[in-house]
Structure 1
Amino acid sequence: MQSAQNVAYAAEFHEPLALVISRVEEELGDIARLIDYNQSVIARLTWEAGGSDPSYVKAMQDADLISQKLAGIAEFLRNVADAVPPDFHVETHRATGNLRLAELMHKIGAKGREMDYKAAFDAGDFELF
Structure 2
Amino acid sequence: MKLTISLDILEEAFYYVSPMKPVSTVPLIYATFLIEKSQVAYTTDNEPKFIRKIERLFKAAFHEIVQGNQAYREILDQDQLLPLEEHLAQQSQLIESVKAAIQKYPELNLIRLELAGSWPVFQTEAGHLDLTE
TM-score, L = length of structure 1: 0.29
Greater relative contact order structure (CA < 8 Å, 6+ sep): 1
Bigger radius of gyration: 1
TM-score, L = length of structure 2: 0.28
